[in-house]
């Protein structure tokens, strides 16, 4: 009995940071971000969107989702594209194959990594907020 408790306690204390935790929508942290007029190192092909972070598989997962276009009627369906924001070259390339057009063109994987690195760091700080946090523009 004591051995079972000793094994279970760290997993309970780990909460959402545990390696077997499956996140829920309530745990996602969100921050709206947008490109400034003078910003040249913006890595995305759209000018604004949502940076999100959630603990999954025992690590922070940062993603960027495009916002609904302003000229799209409310009655029209919208399925936002999303990409993983990371400096891991494998995830950055293969993990984002389906929606790679959400990134602006880059000459190499290294250049794309350099462009997304500040946003990956920002997203990881977002994960340090309470579960379900909706952080305002420029608050991190």
Reported as a single tens digit per residue, the pLDDT across 105-135 is 999 999 999 999 999 999 999 988 887 777 7
Cite the beta strand spans of the chain per DSSP E. 29-34, 48-56, 59-66, 82-84, 134-135
In a domain, 12, yes or no: no
In a domain, 2, yes or no: no
In a domain, 9, yes or no: no
| Its pTM surpasses 0.85 | no
In a domain, 8, yes or no: no
- Neighbouring residues of 47: CB distance < 8 A, sequence distance ≥ 6: 34, 35
| pLDDT attached to residue 8 | 41
The closest of 84, 82, 68 to 116, measured between CA atoms, is: 84
The closest of 36, 44, 40 to 119, measured between CA atoms, is: 44
In a domain, 7, yes or no: no
Give the span between the Cα atoms of 127 and 39, in whole angstroms. Answer: 25
Strands 48-56 and 29-34: antiparallel
* Tens-digit pLDDT profile for residues 84-94: 999 999 999 99
Domain of residue 126 covers: 19-135
Question: How many structural domains comprise the chain?
Answer: 1
Dihedral sign from CA coordinates of 119, 122, 124, 127: negative
In a domain, 116, yes or no: yes
In a domain, 13, yes or no: no
| pLDDT attached to residue 12 | 43
Report the first-to-last Cα separation within the chain, whole angstroms. 45
The residues with which 65 forms a beta bridge, in sequence order, are 50, 82
In a domain, 84, yes or no: yes
């Amino acid at each position: 009995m004591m051995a079972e408790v000793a094994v279970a306690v760290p997993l309970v204390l780990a909460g959402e940071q545990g390696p077997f935790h499956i996140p829920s929508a309530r745990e996602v942290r969100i921050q709206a971000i947008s490109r400034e007029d003078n910003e040249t190192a913006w890595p995305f092909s759209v000018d604004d969107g949502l940076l999100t972070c959630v603990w999954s598989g025992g690590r922070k997962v940062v993603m960027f989702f495009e916002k609904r276009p302003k000229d799209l009627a409310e009655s029209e369906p919208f399925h936002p594209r999303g990409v993983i924001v990371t400096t891991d070259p494998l995830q950055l390339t293969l993990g984002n194959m389906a929606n790679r057009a959400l990134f602006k063109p880059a000459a190499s994987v290294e250049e794309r990594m350099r462009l997304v690195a500040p946003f990956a760091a920002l997203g990881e700080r977002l994960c340090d907020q309470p579960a379900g946090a909706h952080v305002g523009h420029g608050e991190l």
